[in-house]
Amino acid sequence: MDSLPQEDLDKISALLDQREKDLLVDINREANQRDDYAQLATEAPDPGDSAFADLSTDLDNAAIGRDVVELRAIRRAKEHIENGSYGTCMDCSEAIPIERLMAQPIAERCARCQQIFEKSHPASGRGASL
Measured in whole angstroms, the distance separating CA 52 from the mean position of its chain's CA atoms is 12
| Shortest Å distance, C-beta 89 to Zn ion | 3
Of 41-49, 52-60, 73-81, 83-91, the window that binds Zn ion (rule: CB under 5 A) is 83-91
Of 12-20, 35-43, 68-76, 87-95, the window that binds Zn ion (rule: CB under 5 A) is 87-95
| Shortest Å distance, C-beta 69 to Zn ion | 21
The residue within the footprint of Zn ion, chosen from 25, 92, 102, 103 (CB under 5 A), is 92
Measured in whole angstroms, the distance separating CA 70 from the mean position of its chain's CA atoms is 4
User: Whose CA is closest to 126, among 68, 87, 79?
Assistant: 68
The residue within the footprint of Zn ion, chosen from 27, 40, 89, 101 (CB under 5 A), is 89
Question: Rounded CA gap, 123 and 44, in Å?
Answer: 27
Question: Rounded CA gap, 70 and 92, in Å?
Answer: 22
The answer to whether 95 and 2 are in contact (CB under 8 A) is yes
Q: Is 113 near Zn ion (CB under 5 A)?
A: yes
Handedness of CA 6, 100, 121, 45 (dihedral sign): positive
CB of 1 or CB of 60, closer to Zn ion: 1
| Shortest Å distance, C-beta 76 to Zn ion | 16
Q: Which residues bind Zn ion (CB under 5 A)?
A: 89, 91-92, 110, 113
